[in-house]
Structures are given as structure tokens and as C-alpha cells.
Chain A
Amino acid sequence: MNPIIELEDLCFGYVPGELTLEHVNLTVMPGESGCIVGPNGGGKSTLLKLLLGLLQPTSGTVRLFGVAPDEGRRRVGYMPQYHLLDRVFPITVFEVVLTGRMNSWRPFWYGGEDRRAARRALDEIGLSQLADRSFSSLSGGQRQRVLIARALACDPELLLLDEPTANIDPGAEERFYELLEELRRRMTVLTVSHDLGFVNREVDSVICVNRRVVKHRAADFSAETADAVYHHHVGIIQHDHSCFCHCGEKDHA
């Protein structure tokens, strides 16, 4: 089996002489579900951008599905944080999801298959009743879920979710975790989270990013490893098969 993501001795810096990420080696296999964690400013978003070919590494290589990122990224479903998007842009929920069907070789219009795929994706996240609503009229949590539907509409083999739980409405949280677990059975899912609260049930690996990148098997991920990543104490609560953590200050402990 070939790896989906392969980073080899990758270094990256926005400013010469100052590396945001150094000597990163990382492999993610198909079907593996992982959680990318690390403190703010540790390089999580930078790592994502490098994976997606939005940034070029200073040295080292990135391979996505065995090819260059700008080639392989069409097989990726990407979900950004909703608050980075224009709040009042005139677009309906269905139109947002349809943009997931865009591709570089597409003729000019969406076809019936595209519409069906968009509808399926909306069904899956349970928002099909909102299809004709204006995107800007939704709550933050709903908007975030629509962006997941858009990522699903790509028929991705790898799903990249940037902070998916940060804005989910409290009531929808449980349902959302179920959805994620369902998706993990079908495809490779990588989630990014700035606090450890989301190192959750049944991920295979925890990828810690803080200038260096270290991958742990979720089973081995413990309070000590979290402390090492964050350079200060991190509280961890074990809870059935999951491990909920929160990042605390030193003197808090």
C-alpha cells in the first residue's frame, strides 16, 4: 500500500533563517485517521498549506498520493474554518456545496451527477432542509457543517478538517462525532485542532506539530507526551476509549 501523505526531511520558513517547520518526516497510510495537534503558532496551518501545495517547502519534499501536492490535491476534501469566509457573501447552501464539485477539467456548468452528489453530501450531514437558505443566514455551527458537506461533495479519499469542533453548536456535537466516526470508516480523515480537546475516540494517530513534527500512536499518547509537545503541563482526562485533554497553564496544575 502506498502512503497518502509522505513528507521527507521537509523544512519551511516564511522568513529566511527562521524555520517554522524543521526536518519534518511524516507518513500517513490510507485508512489511517489522525489528529494534528499543537499550540497556536506551532506550524499546524503551515503544515496544512504545504500538504495542499499552497506553500512551497524551503527544502525537502511533499508527496500527496505519491505525486506533487498540486496534482494530488484534487483527491482531497478540505474544510477551512467558516469564520475565514465572507459573512455576507450572496450564495445559497446548495451553491456552496456544489463548489465542491468544481474541477480543472470541468466544462462550464454542473451536471445532474454533480447536483446529486451535492444533495447526498447535504443529506449526510443532515442539513438538506436548509439547501435553499442563504449561507449567511445560518448559525456558525451550521455553516461549519455545510463546509464539511462541500468537502464531502469532492468524493475525497483524504478528508482534511481544520478545527471542525471549534464552532459546532453544543447540541450538535454528539451527532457530529458520530458523523466523523462514520467517515473514518470510509476514508482517511485528518483533523486539526489547536487544543487537545479533540484528541478523541478512535483516532489511530496523534500528530504533534510544534516546529518539529512527531507522530504518536493514539494508544501511546499520554499526559507526558502532551506536556512535551506543549512545553507545559496539559491536563488529560481519560474517558472510555477517548482521551480528552485540555491545555492548562503551569501554575494551574
Chain B
Amino acid sequence: MLELWRELWMPELSFLRYALLLGLLASPVLGVIGTMVVTRRISSLAGASAHAALGGVGLALYLQRVFMWSFFTPELGAVLGALIAALVVGVVSLSASEREDTVIGVVWAVGMALGLLFLDRTPGYVDWQGYLFGNILLISPTELYLTLALDAAVLLPLGLFYNRLLAVSFDSTFAQLRGVRATAIYLVLLALTALTIVLLMNVVGIILVIAMLTLPAATSGFFARHLWAMMVLSGVLSAFFLTAGLLLSYFCRIPSGPAIVVLAGVFYLAALLLRRNRRG
């Protein structure tokens, strides 16, 4: 254990330290947003948003390399892609004018296809696999600050509006009758979900990020009696999965995203079986 600790502080391992720190800093947000994604059943919407983020990444890299728009970083592109996708699907689901699952499928595939087309036309080498499956070498200190900012953006309003969020998540119609602005809360939730997705893009990748938004929360959901308890437990589980998964990936020389997700999946299955046995 001590050796592990010492090894972690070796100068050439700064990328691993960044990744571990990012995982720990992102856990509170993951706990809250993951719980909301699971209880409000918007995981396929989150999936569409994540895949559409690649569209933004592709556009950003293309603009950077072809038009020298250096301010247009892939992270900024990802935020745009994920946000637009989440809000488009969200507005459609609110208005109920189209079939929601169809729109999700379209946004999911078209967003990703656009990204791949842009990447194909982008001159020079692009590590597009890193965006899809995660590449912790891409994590910079800036992202740590952004994660802290997102923590504040999620936790402060949560502390103030927890009761409203609880009412609206349990029964949105009733909460609306009591004067809670259900639509506004829903759209803010979608926006925060999109930002969380982008935050984890480099750690677990666009394709696997949906697992981090659902598995820890779903696992805690088996045990929690309160919404807040589900958030806390899933935050703790997220921190554990990210940390253990990253260390596993480094020491066993396996890719980080899959290591984290498989670990979370094993816990989910174990909890599911435990729960079933107890009931049966």
C-alpha cells in the first residue's frame, strides 16, 4: 500500500494523479446527476447527449486545424454538442409532438456520424479513440478547475432547492400544481447532465460515460430509502469505482474506461442478486 502511495507521487505519473483527482472531484456531481438520470429515467437521453458530444469534438478539431480557430477546443465543442442534443430531446419530450425514443435514436446516431465525418476531413493525426473510450493523458489541470466549478454549480442549488427537486422528481404534475417550475428544473437538469458527460469524456470516454451515470446510482437505488441517501451513496460508489478502476487500469495495463465500467457493472450485478435473494 505504502509503495503504491510512493509510486503515485513519481513525477512522470502526473497524468494518473490528475485522473484520480478528477474522479474524486467529479464524484459528488456524479452522485447527484446519476441519481436524477436514473430516477427520472432519462438514461437514453443522456446516451444521446454523450454521443452527440462527438459531433462537437469533430467540429472543434476541424475548425482548429482548418480555420485555425484555436479557441474552439474539443472540450468546448463537446459541451456544445452534448448541450444541444440534450435540450433538443428534452424539448421534444416535453411537447410530446414526436416519438421521444425515435428522436433520441436520431440525435444519437446523427451526432456521432457528424463527428466522424468532421474527424475524417480534419488534417493530421487525431486520437479519436481517446474521445470514444477515454484517454486520461488528455486530462489537464484546467479540467480539474472546471470540475470544481461544476461541483459548485450542482451542489449549491441542490442544497437550496432539494425539496423542490424531490417533489418534482417524485410527481412532476403535483409539484407543478404546488407552484414548482417543473419545466425549468427539468431543462436545468438536462444541461447539467450534458456538462457532467463532457467532464467524464476523457476519463471513461463518450461511449462508456452512460455507465457512470447509471450504474452507481442504480446500485444505490437498491438500498436507499431517501433521494438524498441515494445521491450520497452513489457519489461514494462513483469515487470508489473511478479510483479503483484507474489504479487497476494502471497496474494491470488495461484501458481505464472499460476497467471502471466493468468494475461498476460487477457491483451492480452483485447488488441486484443480493436484493433478489433477500426478497425471495
Contacts and interface: CB of A to CB of B under 8 A. Distances in A.
A238 interface: no
B229 A90 contact: yes
B7 interface: no
A73 B178 CA distance: 8
Interface residues of A, number: 29
Interface stretch (B84-92, B107-115, B136-144, B157-165): B157-165
A102 B39 CA distance: 20
Given A90-B221, A102-B164, A108-B160, A95 B226 contact: yes
Given A90-B225, A95-B166, A95-B226, A103 B174 contact: no
B236 interface: no
A54 B164 contact: no
Interface string B167-180: 10111011111111
Interface residues of B, number: 27
Contacts of B175: 99, 102
A137 to B, nearest CB: 9
B129 to A, nearest CB: 37
B174 A78 contact: yes
A104 B166 contact: no
B177 A99 contact: no
Interface string A128-141: 00000010000000
B150 interface: no
Contacts of A96: 170
Nearest to A79: B174
Contacts of B179: 74, 102-105
B178 A154 contact: yes
For B41, B221, B225, the residue with the greatest tally of chain A CB atoms inside 10 Å of its CB is B225
B227 interface: yes
Nearest to A136: B225
B191 to A, nearest CB: 21
Interface stretch (A27-35, A81-89, A207-215): A81-89
A54 B176 CA distance: 9
Determine the main DSSP class of B at the interface with A.
helix
A92 B225 contact: yes
A80 interface: yes
Contact of A90 (B41, B160, B177, B226): B226
Contacts of B227: 89-91
Nearest to A110: B163
A89 B166 CA distance: 10
Contacts of B176: 54
B144 to A, nearest CB: 30
A215 to B, nearest CB: 24
A80 B225 contact: no
B180 A150 contact: no
A99 B161 contact: no
B239 interface: no
Contact of B171 (A54, A92, A99, A105): A99
A218 interface: no
B83 interface: no
Interface of A: 52, 54, 73-74, 76, 78, 80, 85-86, 88-92, 95-96, 98-100, 102-105, 108-110, 134, 150, 154
9 contacts: A54-B177, A80-B174, A86-B170, A90-B227, A95-B226, A98-B163, A99-B163, A103-B178, A109-B163
Interface of B: 39, 41, 160-164, 166-167, 169-171, 173-180, 221, 224-227, 229-230
Given A95-B166, A104-B178, 11 more contacts: A74-B177, A86-B170, A88-B221, A89-B169, A90-B39, A90-B221, A91-B227, A99-B163, A99-B178, A102-B167, A103-B178
The 7 A-B pairs at the shortest CB distance, nearest first, are namely A104-B179, A99-B167, A102-B178, A90-B224, A134-B225, A90-B230, A108-B160
